[in-house]
């Protein structure tokens, strides 16, 4: 039985989509297309943490201290920021980008929110393609960056694979081959939202 903690104030039960994919997988671009086409509220875990730090709130200071010490921000902190955004939104369709990154994240989300995602998108992209995209985006010192990016990808894969497998077993995972033109990739995304209400064109 699903219990909604604090999100039941709206008439509609939240429709939750997780968007997973490594750095440079192109998920941010596809999120923008999903928002425009299907009217979802986009919540980026990283953006929420950065915004909280910028607000200089007590919560933000704790997050900043955690990052400075080289520790990972506790799952509960990120989930509570996501929950706050969900509670404040008039929308009931949420696109949660870059979270959960690990099984521990996933378990915390389902415990605190009291719901599982309806859809999980996984943008599957070869390592060499992701490295190339991140390097192009960074335009930094190529030799220094390649090793760093590859390490990030290895960590992402190790932590994220159990999450991907969990939702694949539940029949919720939509694997997207994230190579090619943006519109071609989006054509693979569309079937996942076949049952979603599309924004009426004015």
Binding residues for ATP: 24-29, 137, 180
Annotated binding site: 24-29, 50, 71-73, 98-101, 105, 137, 141, 152, 180
Q: How far is CA 163 from CA 26, 102, 117, 126, 157, in A?
A: 19, 6, 12, 18, 10
Annotated binding site for a ribonucleoside 5'-phosphate: 50, 71-73, 98-101, 141, 152
Residues contacting residue 64 through CB under 8 Å, at least 6 positions apart: 53
Q: Alpha-carbon dihedral of residues 199, 84, 173, 106, nearest 10 degrees?
A: 180
Nearest CA to 133 out of 21, 23, 20, 19 is that of 23
Task: Pull the structure tokens for residue 75.
Answer: 């799952």
Sequence-distant (≥ 6) Cβ neighbours of residue 141 within 8 angstroms: none
Q: Which of 200, 199, 201, 202 is nearest to 39 (CA)?
A: 199
Q: Helices 103-113 & 75-88, crossing angle to 10 degrees?
A: 40
Which residues belong to the annotated binding site for CMP? 105
CA–CA separation, 200 and 202 (whole Å): 6
Kindly report the number of other CB atoms within 10 A of residue 84's CB atom: 14
């Amino acid at each position: 039985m699903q219990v909604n903690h604090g999100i039941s104030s709206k008439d509609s039960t939240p429709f939750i989509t997780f968007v997973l994919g490594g750095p440079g997988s192109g998920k941010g671009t596809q999120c923008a297309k999903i928002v425009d086409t299907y009217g979802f509220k986009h919540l980026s875990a990283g953006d929420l943490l950065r915004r909280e730090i910028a607000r200089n709130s007590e919560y933000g200071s704790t997050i900043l201290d955690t990052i400075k010490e080289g520790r990972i921000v506790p799952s509960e902190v990120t989930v509570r920021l996501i929950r706050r955004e969900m509670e404040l939104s008039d929308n009931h369709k949420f696109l949660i980008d870059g979270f959960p990154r690990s099984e521990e994240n996933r378990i915390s989300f389902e415990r605190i929110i009291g719901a599982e995602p309806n859809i999980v998108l996984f943008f599957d992209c070869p390592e060499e393609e992701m490295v190339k995209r991140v390097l192009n985006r960074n335009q930094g010192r190529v030799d220094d960056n390649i090793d760093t990016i590859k390490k990030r990808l290895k960590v992402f894969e190790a932590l994220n694979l159990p999450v991907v497998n969990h939702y694949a077993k539940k029949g919720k995972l939509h694997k997207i081959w994230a190579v090619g033109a943006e519109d071609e990739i989006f054509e693979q995304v569309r079937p996942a939202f076949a049952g979603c209400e599309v924004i009426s064109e004015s």
